[in-house]
Amino acid sequence: MQRQIVRISGTGARKFLQGLVSNDLNRLDAGGIVYAALLTPQGKYLNDFFVIERDGDMLVDVAAEYAGDLVRRLGMYRLRLPLSIAPDPMPVACGTGPAPEGAVTDPRHPALGWRLYGAELAPDGTDWDALRVTYCIPQTGVELLPGESFLLECGFDRINGVDFRKGCYVGQEVTARMRHKTELRKGLASVDVEGTAPVGTEITAGGKVIGTLYTQSGGQGIAYLRFDRAQRAEAPMIAGDALVRWADTGAQGATA
């Protein structure tokens, strides 16, 4: 997926972004990178991205097709603050082999390798779908659906995309309530898949909707499941022409 840098520059750029996103940008003090998301006030996912800091500017590494929407939404929150929010042509490279000088480790999972900003490198042949399926890592626009997904159902606590101690941000109350007051009944999980089905195919068992099958690779897949129905299903789980199996580990979102 093509990436785009959005640069936020001006006095108070970090403070501005800190009050909006799901993770604690003060972690940037140690160098490196932070993974975070922007939510609606109702706690629904809008966009996810990586953030680095260069000379006081916030550089937001986002999926290119969603960059325009992110710029627009950040502009709505800027109000009269003396900030510039605009796309930046800085190139983004990523890979899983030996990290080049200046690269930072992907904060979601060590197996996802490194990210490099400011240099163009040829792709290293990494099968990103296979990695995402192995570690149940959701992707923008596939498992992560703007205006629909909730962070905890998508495992953001597991992939270092949310901080529960940082204080207020847009959608924080709903996210905190889901963590402290309810047991997740739905969410992403790794499944075994016999056959294939188009991304977004509904999973059913005995005529009941169990969930949705998304990315697949090597006989495994990422599915959004209703955990109670998946656990109780007596008939096989089917997605199109594919047979789906979930080995319930008792930990929603974990690799099955």
Instruction: List pLDDT tens digits, range 70-109.
Output: 999 999 999 999 999 999 999 999 999 999 999 999 999 9
Instruction: Write down the pLDDT at residue 182.
Output: 67
Distance between CA atoms of residues 126 and 136, nearest Å: 16
Instruction: Write down the pLDDT at residue 31.
Output: 86
H/E segment holding residue 223: strand 220-226
Instruction: List pLDDT tens digits, range 216-238.
Output: 999 999 999 999 999 999 999 99
> Two tokens at 98?
């030996």
User: What letter does residue 32 receive in the DSSP assignment?
Assistant: S
Q: Give the pLDDT band (50/70/90) at residue 250.
A: very low
Edge-to-edge strand ranges of the sheet holding 45-54:
34-39, 45-54, 57-63, 3-9, 84-88
> Two tokens at 205?
């068992």
Instruction: Write down the pLDDT at residue 252.
Output: 46
Sign of CA dihedral 232, 134, 223, 195: negative
Average pLDDT over residues 137-151: 97
Instruction: List pLDDT tens digits, range 196-220.
Output: 999 999 999 999 999 999 999 999 9
Average pLDDT over residues 188-201: 97
> For tokens 């959701």, what's the residue?
138
Average pLDDT over residues 25-35: 94
Q: Where are the beta strands (DSSP E) in the chain?
A: 3-9, 34-39, 45-54, 57-63, 84-88, 92-95, 104-105, 114-117, 186-194, 201-205, 208-217, 220-226, 237-239, 242-245
H/E segment holding residue 16: helix 13-18
Partners of residue 90 on adjacent β-strands: none
Cut 0.75: pTM above it: yes
Percentage of residues in the chain with pLDDT exceeding 90? 91
Instruction: Write down the pLDDT at residue 110.
Output: 95
Q: Is the pLDDT of residue 1 over 90?
A: no
Per-chain mean pLDDT for the chain: 94
Is-contact 204 237, C-beta < 8 A?
yes
Instruction: Write down the pLDDT at residue 248.
Output: 65
Greater confidence (123 vs 255) lies with 123
List of domains in the chain:
3-126+135-177 (3.30.1360.120), 184-245 (2.40.30)
Instruction: Write down the pLDDT at residue 181.
Output: 73
Q: Give the pLDDT band (50/70/90) at residue 256.
A: very low
Instruction: Write down the pLDDT at residue 157.
Output: 96
Average pLDDT over residues 2-12: 97
* Start-end of H helices in 136-206: 172-180
